[in-house]
Amino acid sequence: MTENQISSEIIGAAIEVHKQLGPGLLESAYETCLAFELRKKGFKVERQLALPLIYKDVKLDAGYRIDLLVNDKVIIEVKSLDALAPIHTAQILTYLKLKDIKLGLLINFNSVVVKDGIKRVINGYL
C-alpha cells in the first residue's frame, strides 16, 4: 500500500474512534483505540516508538517517541487539544526527518468533527 492509501485508512479509523468516544479524553485513550482499529484492519502498528537523535554521528536517546508508526510508512501524532499550534506541525515534521519517512498525520481528537482536526504533513514541505 502507498502512503496515501494507508493515510486514507488511518483517517477512516480515526473517524470511527472519534464517533465511538467523542472529544475530551486523554491522548493515550485515542492512541490506544486508534492502534486497535488499525491492527484490526491488518496494519502493522508500533506505539510509543523510541526515536533516537543523531548528533555529530552519535546516536543519543533524547526521549523522543513516535505515538504511532503504521506499516513503517506513516507517522501519527495524536493530540487532544483545544487547537493545534505551529509547534505541533514542527514536531511531526522533525519526527519525519529523523525517521526518514515521507508522510505524517497530526490528529487532534478534541474537535467536534475529527476530520477538521487532521493535518497531513509531508517531509520536506510545510
> Hey, how many other C-beta atoms are within 10 angstroms of the C-beta on 38?
24
Between the alpha carbon of residue 40 and those of residues 18, 27, 54, the distances in Å are 16, 20, 34
Q: What is the pLDDT of residues 105-117, one digit of tens each?
A: 999 999 999 999 9
Contact 68, 45 (CB under 8 A): yes
Phi, psi of 94 (to 5 degrees): -65, -45
Residue with cell 519517512: 101
- Tell me which residue of 95, 119, 111 sits closest to 11, measured CA to CA: 119
Residue 33 has pLDDT above 60, yes or no: yes
Domain boundaries, the chain: 3-122
pTM of the entire predicted model: 0.92
